[in-house]
Structure 1
Amino acid sequence: MVQEKAEGIYSFTIDTEAGKKYLESLTVNSSPADGELNAYAFPQERAAGFYAFARALQEQPLPGIRYIKGQITGPLTMGLMIKDLNGKPSFCNDVLREILTLSLALQIRWQVRYFRRLKLPLMLFIDEPGLYAVGKKDFAGLTRRAVQDSLNHLITVAHEEGAEVGIHTCAGTDWSLLFALPFELVNVDIYHFFPSLLPFAAELDAFLRRGGTLAWGLIPTSREVQAHTAESLGKTMQNYREKLEEAGVDGGRLKQQCLLTPSCGAGTLTDEEVRAVYRLLQEVSEKILAKKL
């Protein structure tokens, strides 16, 4: 998740001046021509699935596709994993954080333009499991403002390129931080972290009233998937929706502005388990469309 996205993001020894000069070059060249963006392309050897996906869409176009999903690792997650020479998260260093953010913005421009030739609308997802750290005492130097500013810059760049933007975090977090930003979609791991959403019912309601979509990560991407049916997960969804309505979220908007997804990635599962995840996803989705949920 981090490794393939980290390619093309330059590292520095402790040399603040070098960092500032590189930062200036990124700021000046924040919207380069297509050819110049190739330096920010995902390397073939690190992102084989990305290129296989693009080839499959070119070779066998599927009718009725509303969006294709792009993906980028979020700046906080990247900045917690990549450390400075003192072993501290680079996100907590003002210069390194801005380098990460501007570099990821250029990766977004490259990815959106790469998919544009497929002539399909793109929904770009920012993957931010690192949001678990917001507000934790172990990350005292991590501010809400820094996280929002960094994410807001990436949203702005994606919108400039014509993509809609969603965010996913497979953790409980301060959801008000995300609902306040101009995302089209917020993807919550409902299966594991629904209780973390309830305290932010008012912020969720405001997000939906602005036209946002709540993506329900309802289908578990773990071996637990084998223990579920479309009926059991459908009942869970109904129960959670009722709890949100009781907390003040508009029930009609919860039903209309809804997307169903797996709870997280399925890369650690067996082929059989992956098929079970997506079979359940289809079956629960069909129940929703048939207004049985």
Structure 2
Amino acid sequence: MSLRFATTGIGSLPHEDIRRACTLILDNCTIPFWPQFPKLAFEQGMVAQFTEGFPALRVDSQRERIWIDRQDVDAIARFYETCIDNASIPISPAWATGFGALEGFLTGRRLPVLKGHVTGPLTFTLGIKDNSGKYIYYDEELREIALMLLVAKARWQIQSLKRFADRVIVFIDEPMLSALGSSAYIGVSTEDASSLLRRMIQEIRGAGAMTAIHCCGNADWEMVFDTTVDIVNFDAYAYFDTLNLYHERIAQHISGGGFLAWGIVPTLTIDDIRREDFDSIAERFTERFERLAAEIGIEALAEHSLLTPSCGAGILDVEMAEKVFHILGRLRQYLIERFGG
């Protein structure tokens, strides 16, 4: 299957009706993805969802708190015994209702491509603290454990999704890339972030999947391209101009077989999606696509472009989230008619 103007989602949906959510995905995404349902439980949020199995994990669901008890050294020692090379660690239904739900819809089917996702190591380690209140990123051992755990959960997804698809793409969700260099995260170096991502990409590829990095803000795109990730997913609705500055790197990325995933349908504020419609999004995308294509070539860019929402849709209401995916599905058809498919 060509990925030319293929459509997929980032992760979260506001739905509590699981069947309705999965139907929305299958009707509008040529690359179906398993949905996160953060409104069902605290444990199904973006960061919390992948903490299951972290040694010395403590969870207070009522207060929506999660932390690592650094004093529980025995649990940390046991983790090294169980998380050996090429380990795969499942995400249980209580932490990822959407995974099993999508599998149920796919039973008996074989698709060209499916999408999994995992919280990126930077966002993950800057989203969890230890019992002293320090982000686990700043603890070298816990940071390494986090990477091992995330890789093992990505590996499990790949193995599971390959039962239903010829090809799997794993998106590494890294919104914290936009915070690199800010005063709030002094001590978080670009070099360390790049190393974490490179190692994760290598492990995911080794497990047989394509890789993608998603960042819904402004990022050091030079560093992102340097990771050699297969797909760069950016917020094309709000941050196109910042990425367009790197058109020479984009050309190199595409000529080397890489892809861009355009996050063109807004999800970060309800006001944005409320005022937009298919016509306005199609106009915005086409103008930006043609501007970049002037530097790269229309055919090359079209063949290496995917379409996504700008970010997860979990903060929207159900009506607006469904509007996002209906626009996305229509946009693909429009672009195939306009630029060929």
Report the TM range for the smaller structure's normalisation.
Answer: 0.7 to 0.9
Q: RMSD over aligned Cα, in angstroms?
A: 2.5
Number of residues of Structure 1 aligned to a counterpart in Structure 2: 282
Residues 120 and 55 of structure 1: CA distance in aligned 2, closer, same or farther (over 3 Å)? farther
1:232 aligns with 2:280: yes
State the shift of 1:219 in Å: 0.9
| TM-score (ref. length: structure 1) | 0.87
| Cα distance in 1 for residues equivalent to 2:191 and 2:299 | 32
Of 207, 217, 232, the residue aligned with 1:171 is 217
The one-letter code sitting in structure 2 at the alignment partner of 1:139 is Y
Contact (CA 8 Å) 2:129, 2:135: kept in 1 or not? yes
Do the aligned partners of 1:4 and 1:43 also contact (CA within 8 Å) in 2?
no
SS at match of 1:70: strand
Q: State which drifts further: 139-148 or 194-203.
A: 194-203
User: 1:178-202: per-residue Cα shift (whole Å, max 9, x none)?
Assistant: 1112221111111122232133222
The structure with more helix, counted as a fraction of residues: 1
The structure 1 residue matched to 2:121, chosen from 75, 79, 88, is: 75
Gaps of 5+ in 2: 1-45, 57-67
The residue number in structure 1 matching 2:309 is 262
Moved more, 165-174 or 219-228: 219-228
Determine the C-alpha separation between the residues in 1 that align with 2:332 and 2:171. Answer: 20
Q: Distance in 1 between matches of 2:322 and 2:330?
A: 12
Runs of 5+ in structure 1 lacking a partner?
A: none
Match of 2:94 among 45, 48, 55: 45
Pair 1:107 & 2:156 matched: no
Q: Offset of 1:245 from its aligned partner?
A: 4.7
The 1:285–1:125 alpha-carbon spacing in structure 2 relative to 1, beyond 3 Å, is same
Taking a change above 3 Å as real, the CA distance of residues 46 and 87 of structure 1, as seen in their structure-2 partners, is same
Once residues 16 and 251 of structure 1 are traced to their aligned partners in structure 2, the CA distance between those partners, rounded to angstroms, is: 56
Q: Is the 8 A contact 2:254 2:300 kept in 1?
A: yes
Q: Which stretch of structure 1 is more off in the superposition, 197-206 or 99-108?
A: 197-206
User: How high is the TM-score relative to the length of structure 2?
Assistant: 0.75
Q: 2:245 aligns with which of 181, 185, 199?
A: 199
Q: Could you report, residue by residue, the CA deviation over 1:15-54 in whole angstroms, capped at 9, with x for unpaired residues? A: 6976985675477x1214xxxx4xx211211211111011
User: 1:30 aligned to 73, 85, 95, which one?
Assistant: 85
Task: Give the aligned partner of residue 2 of structure 1.
Answer: 47
- Greater relative CO, 1 or 2 (CA 8 Å, sep 6+): 2
Give the AA of the match of 2:133.
G
